[in-house]
Structure 1
C-alpha cells in the first residue's frame, strides 16, 4: 500500500471523525471533546502496541522530537478551539488550507525533502481548490485573507496552520526513528497529558468522566486517521500527503449532502473538482 492510498484513507476517516464529533459532541465542550478523543486514542493505540509487542529503544533525540511535536500540537489544538469558538467559520477555516504551503518551505529544511516542480504545482492546486470550497461567494474571495489583519480569530487560525505545517515534519522524524504505531502512542499520550488541565479547569466545573463515552466513536475514526497518516508520511513527502489529506474537506462536504441532507453550493462543486485535479497531478507526476 503506497502513501497516496494511505493519505486517501486518512482523509476519508478524518471526514467520518468529523461526522462522529458532530453527532456525539453536542453535550460536550470542544475542550473536553478534544481531550477525551485524544485520551481514548491513546488507550486504543497503547493496546495495539501491547498486542503486537511493539516497542523501541528510547533515545535522547527521540525524546526531544516527541516533546517538541507534542507541545506544538497541543498549542495548535488550544488555538484551534479558541478560534472556532470566537470566529466566523467562513473566514477562519480557509486558513487551514495553507498547511501544505507552509510544509513546502519547512520540510526541505527539517526532513530534507525536495519536491518536483510539477508536484509543487499539484500542492498549490489542491490548496487553491480547498480555499474555494470554503468560500460562500466569489465577492468574498479575499475576505479570509483580509480578515487576518483585523480579526484575532483568523490570525489564530493562520497560526494553527503554521504550527501544524511545522509539527508534521517532527512527526515524520519520530516515525522514521521508530514506527507509526509507537510514535502515535507516544505523542498522543503526551498530548492527552498536556490537554488534561485545560479540559478540567476550562470546562467550568462540568467536567465528568462519564461524559467521555461520547468521544469513543470519534476516537475510533481518529485513530484510523492518525495511523494511516503517520504511515503515509513515512513512505512519501509530507507536503504531498498533507495535500491529499485536504480532500477530507471534500469528503466531509459529500457526507453532509448525503447523510445530513445539506445543500451543495456551486463554489463547493468547483473547489472540489480543482482539489481532485490537484490530487491527480500529485499522484501521477509528484
Structure 2
C-alpha cells in the first residue's frame, strides 16, 4: 500500500500548495507565482533526469509539449485568479469537474470512451457540486447551480477544469512519446518560459519584491516538486487511474485547511459536496481499468 500513502501525500501537498497560493497572492500577483511555481518545480525535479534513461522522442512529442504547456500556462494563471477572489473551499472542489469534461474531450482527442461506471461517476460529481451551495436551495431548486455560475471565481475554476481536460489528453500523448519524468520536467520548464514574457510585461513593477520574498516562492516550488515526485513513484507502483483518483482528495484537504487556516465559512456542506465529488472522480478513475 505504499502507492496509497504516496498518492495521499500528493493530495495533501496539493492542498497545502493551494493554501500557500492563497496567502502569497497578497504579496505577488498570479503571473509571478505561476512562473515561479513551474520553474522551481522543473528545477528541483531535473536531477531525476540523471537517474533515468533519456527516452527517444516520438514524432508527436513537440506538438504535445507546445499545446500542453500553452494550455497549462493559461490554466495556472486563471486558477490563481480564481482562488484570489473566492474561497478555496469552493474553488478546489470545482476543479474536480475535470474528469467530467474528460468524458467529452477524451473521445474527441485520444479516442477514449466512457462506460456506465464512468457515467455514474459523472452523476456523483454533479450531485456534489449541487451540495457545495445547498444553502442557496431556499431560492429555488436550481439556485445552488446558479450560485456556481454567478460567482466569478467559480466560473474561472470551471474554465480551468475544462482546460485541464484538454491538456490532460496532450499530457498522455507527451508521455507516450517520451517518459513520465522527462515529460514532467519538460512541460514545467516550457510553461515557465511561456509565462516569463508575461511576467516581465505585466508584473515588472512587482519584481522588486523578489529580493526579500523570493525565498517563499522557492519553497512553493519545492512543495510541488515533492508532490510530483511522489506521484511519479506512485504511478510506477499501481494503476494511473487509482493514483489520480486518490490525488483528487486534495479537494477535501483544501476544504479542511480552508476552515482551519483561512477561516472560511460554510464548511459542512462544502465538505460533504467535495466528498461526493471525489467519490465520483474515483468511480471514473476505476472505470478506466475495465
Q: TM-score range by the shorter chain?
A: 0.7 to 0.9
2:267 to 265, 268, 271: 265
The CA deviation string for residues 129-187 of structure 1, in whole angstroms up to 9 with x for no partner, is 25533666434402245438xx6x66544332221111011111212222221001100
**Structure 2 unaligned residues grouped into runs of 5+:** none
The CA deviation string for residues 17-46 of structure 1, in whole angstroms up to 9 with x for no partner, is 123334555422222111111111111111
**CA distance, structure 2, for counterparts of residue 61 and residue 134 of structure 1:** 42
Return 114-123 or 34-43, whichever deviates more: 114-123
TM-score, normalised to structure 1, is 0.79
1:213 corresponding residue in structure 2: 215
Q: Is the CA contact (8 Å cut-off) linking 1:113 and 1:237 kept in structure 2?
A: no
1:169 corresponding residue in structure 2: 169
Q: Is the CA contact (8 Å cut-off) linking 1:80 and 1:157 kept in structure 2?
A: yes
Compared with structure 1, are the counterparts of its residues 44 and 230 closer, same or farther at alpha carbon in structure 2 (3 Å cutoff)? same
TM-score, normalised to structure 2, is 0.78
**CA distance, structure 2, for counterparts of residue 102 and residue 233 of structure 1:** 22
- Measured on the aligned residues, the alpha-carbon RMSD in Å equals 3.6
1:117 shift after superposition: 1.0
1:102 aligns with 2:104: no
After TM superposition, list the pairs within 5 Å mapping 1:61-210 onto structure 2.
61-84=60-83, 88-89=86-87, 93=91, 95-130=94-129, 132-133=131-132, 137-139=136-138, 140-147=143-150, 155-208=155-208, 209-210=210-211
Compared with structure 1, are the counterparts of its residues 56 and 48 closer, same or farther at alpha carbon in structure 2 (3 Å cutoff)? same
Compared with structure 1, are the counterparts of its residues 257 and 88 closer, same or farther at alpha carbon in structure 2 (3 Å cutoff)? closer
Q: Is the CA contact (8 Å cut-off) linking 1:21 and 1:215 kept in structure 2?
A: no
The CA deviation string for residues 213-266 of structure 1, in whole angstroms up to 9 with x for no partner, is 11122212212333455677787576x765544321111122344556666633
**CA distance, structure 2, for counterparts of residue 154 and residue 126 of structure 1:** 15
